[in-house]
Chains A and B, each alone.
Chain A
Amino acid sequence: MTRVSPPRRRPQAAAFRGALWITLIAVVTTVVALSVQHFQTVRVLKIELEHLLEGEADALVLRYRDGDLGGLVSYIDEQTRTQRRDVVYMVADRAGRRLAGNVLVWPSGLAAEHLAITTVRVRRGGEVQSRRIEAEVRTLGPDTRLLVGHLADSRIALGRRYWMSLALSVLATAVLGLSLGWLVSRRGVRVVRAAADTGDRFLSGHLDERLKVSLRDDEFDRLAEVFNACLDEIERMVRSLRAATDGLAHDLKTPLTRIKARLELAALRGHEAPQQDILAETARDLDALLSLVNGLLVLARADATTADSFVPLDLAAVAQEAYDLYAPLAEDAGQHLLLRLSRAPARGVSSLLLHATANLIDNAIKHGSPGGQIVVATGIDGAASRLTIGDRGPGIAPDARERAVQRFSRLDESRSTPGSGLGLSLVATVARVHRGQLVLADNQPGLRAELRLPLSPDRDLRPARAPKEVTGETGRVTGTEG
């Protein structure tokens, strides 16, 4: 396979970027979740501790009021000896001298009657330690203060555990996120890479390369469909260009050869002989050449039409105008042009649609049977507005219908009939740029040409894939010509 696009320096960069983003999002989520949980827990614990300390302090105050300092001191001594809880006590006088309890020195600055955290020296189990406590203070009398505290060990441990678990979670998330994210991103990137490879093969000449469209019908499939539609369009243009070049070469060369031959003949005849016949014939050939070039220009212009030049219009009005133009001509040719119009709204370029309609009527007059009817009808048919022209002539065989709309194709192999072979091709092009289609069918007898345009601007009546063959009884030929 020839690769058109150069190899990339970092072929996996997009997948890696995707994985990184996924990981980052997961990490942030984890951190937020853990933190919320932690701070909620801390808050609940703090409230519980407050209640505990307040209860203990209030009980001691009551005990002091009921009895006296001695009873309180002995109770506190009792409590500190058992050490069954993490609670510490101190009763001190105004100068901070200890009267009872296992806190040795009154923490400086601690006076307020609410929960505070402070560091104190405590005697526990015979050792003197410096510990952080949460403390509640009560004033017992003018000279006496009470401190009830709780060791803050569990709080500190909780905090440490939080940081630990945070670190572990982030690590786990990062590892999982990077590996899973890598896998997921690679799936998306694989689609992109498939598109790039398909495009590469297409550009290197395999015009039938297309992306696979899965059954999932998701965004990737939409991308694949649009991508394929672009490739269809390019393939169609390339193929029609190839076909057209052959036809064009023939149609240009024939009259040019004739002109050249006639000029040589004129030179042979010399100055004296009359040249009127040569001049007239050459002028006729030149006219044909000019009209061929004009036809090609019209076709090229029609092909380049985009939806921004569309206006709302009614095919019935277009048909009426074409009728006005061609009715006298049909009558002179011994045919009856009949109108059966009803409303057929569409969006489009009216001059192009008029030209297409005129070509269809012109064809019907040229190929219809003498004395026959040509019916021009418009109306709404499902999601389409239609303009139908039916004649009573010999018609076109089903297997020749697709070829009939190709550029420069004339069903008469000898190419001796007048006409550039661009008429139906223009109609098909006009149908296609209007997102519609040209349907050629059997009029029993004769040809029924139907121009179908979408009723609403967001509909597209063009076949999803340009058909390579004419299907069924009616030849749906739109999109095969351009």
Chain B
Amino acid sequence: MKLLLIEDDRSTASYVQQGLAELGHACDHAETGLDGLTAALTNPYDAIILDRNLPQLDGLSVLQALRSQGQTTPVLILSALGQVDDRIKGLEAGSDDYLTKPFSFGELMARIAAIVRRGSGTATATTTLQVGDLELDLLARAAKRGARRIELLNKEFQLLEYFMRHAGQVVTRTMLLEAAWDYSFDPGTNVIDVHVSRLRGKLEHGDEPPLLHTVRGAGYQLDAR
């Protein structure tokens, strides 16, 4: 992937760049909003990581300028402003995701992967999702694995839908929290873990091959390997 990082804090920027290089991704860096906007308009990127508080031109203005030029490159906002209002403002301005500082690199990577795939995916409305022999009917709100019907509680259904829409990707606990619950409060990661392990218990019976994998230090991944 080729990414653009617009961030005025050099140590954060170099930490992100090193991490991305480690994983084999190229990453350009712009220190001001204006430089970032110019770079984003002149080069093709797979995704843009955008800080909100930037010199010359703030992050939201950069984003609005990009979107008004018809640029649809996925944008992830990285900001210390983490209140619900701030997130809503960011998403309204046209960002695809919003990550609050301080963040872990695993979280950042998982979210970038998610928005890049979302951007390239087809936008047609689907009524059924399929991963391996697992099938989720969104209209009938029914799940089955092979021939076996799976009874799901409301939250489990929401979690599974999110996992299946992001099949093959690493999904962090925070992403799950945002997807299935109100992201205005964090009940602690172990609460999410318990819910995921319940879901896993329902998905994987007996000697069925595992579907829902734990990714150490990052989160979970639904994959029919």
Contact = CB atoms under 8 A, between A and B. Distances in A.
Interface string A304-343: 0000000000000000000011101100100000000000
Contact of A329 (B83, B182, B191): B191
Q: Chain A CB within 10 Å — which of B84, B182, B194 has the most?
A: B194
B12 interface: no
A298 interface: yes
Contact of B190 (A301, A329, A351, A355): A329
A139 B209 CA distance: 138
Contacts of A325: 155, 181, 187, 191, 195
A309 to B, nearest CB: 11
Interface string A371-414: 00000000000000000000000000000000000000000000
Describe A's contact surface by its main secondary structure.
Answer: helix
Interface string B133-160: 0000000000000000000011100000
Contacts of A324: 153-155
B188 A354 contact: no
A294 B84 CA distance: 14
A358 interface: yes
B185 A329 contact: no
B173 to A, nearest CB: 13
Contact of B198 (A301, A328, A358): A328
Describe B's contact surface by its main secondary structure.
Answer: loop
A33 interface: no
Contacts of A358: 185, 187
A351 B184 contact: yes
Interface residues of A, number: 15
A328 B194 contact: yes
B185 A290 contact: no
A298 B191 CA distance: 19
A328 to B, nearest CB: 4
B191 A326 contact: yes
A56 interface: no
- A-B pairs, 10 with minimum CB distance: A351-B184, A355-B185, A328-B194, A329-B194, A328-B198, A358-B187, A351-B182, A329-B191, A332-B194, A324-B155
11 contacts: A290-B102, A301-B83, A325-B155, A325-B181, A325-B191, A325-B195, A326-B187, A326-B191, A329-B190, A358-B187, A362-B188
Interface of B: 83-84, 102, 153-155, 181-182, 184-188, 190-191, 194-195, 198
